[in-house]
């Protein structure tokens, strides 16, 4: 694999994972009651704890997208 192929790969990874991150945020933000209702069938969890878990999930996903997709893409853009 050459640098241009890797750069394109990380560009598409960033776009796809960023889209999934935005989609997850929108679902949890606008349909939070539906998501809570669906998950409360399986797990007995208070609403406040559920909101904290979702907030941590979105934060962790954002950090992972930045570290594993965007940073390598920017590095490859700089060196190419």
What is the CA 17 to chain-centroid distance, rounded? 6
The whole domain housing 21 covers 3-79
The tally of domains found in the chain comes to 1
Q: What is the pLDDT at residue 69?
A: 96
The pTM assigned to this predicted structure is: 0.83
Q: What is the pLDDT at residue 80?
A: 86
Q: What is the pLDDT along the chain (80 residues), one digit of tens a residue?
A: 899 999 999 999 999 999 999 999 999 889 989 999 998 999 899 999 999 999 999 999 999 999 999 999 999 999 98
The set of residues, in sequence order, having a beta carbon less than 8 Å from that of 69 and lying 6+ positions away, is 10, 13, 14, 17, 18
Q: What is the pLDDT at residue 1?
A: 82
């Amino acid at each position: 694999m050459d640098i241009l192929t890797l750069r394109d790969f990380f560009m598409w990874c960033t776009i796809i994972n960023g889209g999934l991150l935005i989609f997850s945020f929108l679902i949890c933000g606008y349909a939070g009651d539906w998501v809570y209702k669906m998950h409360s069938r399986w797990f007995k969890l208070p609403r406040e704890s559920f909101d904290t878990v979702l907030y941590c999930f979105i934060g962790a996903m954002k950090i992972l997208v930045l570290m594993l997709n965007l940073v390598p893409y920017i590095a490859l853009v700089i060196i190419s």
